Amino acid sequence: MMNLAAEVSGSLGSIGYGLAAIGPGVGVGIIFGNGTQALARQPEAAGLIRANQILGFAFCEALALIGLVMPFVYGV
């Protein structure tokens, strides 16, 4: 009987990153979707809304970059 885990271990890091990229992708969609709604409701607050969108986007992308690096740090 062959050891199946040894055969797939090379691609587990990329599978892990693919799964980790789902969260930031959803987060960015929620941030910009709600930001668009907020701009439609209160156009006079555009500067504050845009600043908060950029900050939230940066946090979500930081999580995506951490998810990209971790398979290389802990990979086999």
Model pLDDT for residues 25-60, shown as the tens digit of each residue = 899 999 999 999 999 999 999 999 999 999 999 999
- Counting residues of the chain whose pLDDT is more than 70, the rounded percentage is 80
pTM for the structure as a whole: 0.70
3-state secondary structure the chain: CCCHHHHHHHHHHHHHHHHHCHHHHHHHHHHHHHHHHHHHHCHHHHHHHHHHHHHHHHHHHHHHHHHHHHHHHHCC
